[in-house]
Amino acid sequence: MAADNRSPVTVIGLGAMGRALAGAFLDNGHPTTVWNRTAGKGGELAGRGATVAATVTEAITASPLTVVCVLDHRAVREVLDPVAGSLVGRTLVNLTNGTPCQARETARWAAAHGADYVDGGIMAVPPMIGRPESLVLYSGSPEAFTAHEPAFGALGTALYLGADAGRASLYDIALLSAMYGMFGGFFHAVAMVGTEKVPAAEFTPLVVSWLNAMIAGLPAMAKAVDSGDHSTADSNLEMQATAYVNLLDASRDQGVSTELVEPMRELLDRGVTAGRGGGDISALIDLLRTEPT
């Protein structure tokens, strides 16, 4: 694809994700400059047309848009703090995983150094980058998002969540919470059947079909959460708390650790104690809310 009308982009951080991001920009014809703390990771990208910058400043000043994707928030600041002056008048997009508080702090830091700031959350693994199923969440400067939206399109589907720089991270962390909950349930399930030599691959189609059936109920549960109406004629919380004890007893009987499933028992019991036993399990959401630290 011709690069002439594509805006230059800089990618800082060439781990698995940074390399995928830079590769997607190159595939879409963006003149792409890359930098990584440890030299040598840009070789393959250079072969595809990327410019490997010798310094972070050289990388940032090569493009109006710099995308940073390193290990964590601390790494972002270690890389960018010493070269903050070179960001003046440019846009910084931070796709490093972090918390909403960290995103807001970086937004303030970028503003203090004259840079437009957009924070992001990547809901994809590296091989998905560039495909429509790769969802990237953005929030922060609306002007910067609009100006660089065509470049963001190279990475997959771009979803802008508003001017609060912390919002993309909040959604990212919330979606990851749902994912890890599912992984935890899956690990426990295959550990259980594995104690009787049932291969995970044989059992997993049943898990997938069961989870799909349960997922279909989430929109109704979301309505109950939003409305506060947790009434149910079907599967009330007290019934589920009683049945859940069997899940724990069976796990111990089979020799499977209960560490992944114990917290839900505690929550179910708290729900019953709080007088929510006759309602839907969605009532548990009220018990999860605590004062921010």
Q: Which residues bind ligand FVH (CB under 6 A)?
A: 13-18, 36-38, 41, 69-72, 75, 78-79, 96-97, 122, 125-126
One DSSP character per residue, 124-180 reads: S-GGGTTSTT-EEEEEE-HHHHHHHHHHHGGGSEEEE--S-TTHHHHHHHHHHHHHH
Q: Are 193 and 186 in contact (CB under 8 A)?
A: no
Distance of closest approach, residue 35 Cβ to ligand FVH, in angstroms = 9
Q: Which is nearer to ligand FVH, 66 or 97 (CB)?
A: 97
Give residue for tokens 């796709």.
95
CA angle 128, 147, 19 (to 5 degrees): 30
Q: Is the dihedral of CA 24, 27, 29, 31 positive or negative?
A: positive
In whole angstroms, how close is the CB of 25 to ligand FVH at the nearest point? 15
Cross-strand bridge partners of residue 9: 32, 65
Contact between 203 and 189 (Cβ < 8 Å): yes
Which stretches does DSSP call E strand in 4-130? Answer: 9-12, 32-35, 51-52, 65-68, 91-94, 116-123
Minimal CB distance to ligand FVH: which residue? 15
Task: Tell me how far, at minimum, the Cβ of 82 lies from ligand FVH, in Å.
Answer: 11
Helices 73-80 and 100-112: crossing angle, nearest 10°?
Answer: 10
CA distance 215 to 254: 28
The distance of closest approach from Cβ of residue 274 to ligand FVH in the complex, given in angstroms and rounded to an integer, is 36
- Give whichever of 22 and 260 is closer to ligand FVH, judged by the CB atom: 22
Q: Which is nearer to ligand FVH, 135 or 190 (CB)?
A: 135
Provide the 8-state DSSP code for 243: H
Other C-beta atoms lying within 10 Å of the C-beta of residue 198: 12
Q: CB 155 → ligand FVH: shortest distance, Å?
A: 11
CB closer to ligand FVH out of 91 and 97: 97
Of 68 and 281, CB closest to ligand FVH: 68
User: Token digits for 92?
Assistant: 């910084």
Residue type at position 69: C
Cβ-based nearer residue to ligand FVH, 161 or 193: 161
Question: Smallest distance, Å, CB 65 to ligand FVH?
Answer: 18
CB of 46 to ligand FVH, least distance (A): 15
Lookup: tokens for 133 = 């199923």
Of 65 and 237, the one with the shorter C-beta distance to ligand FVH is 65
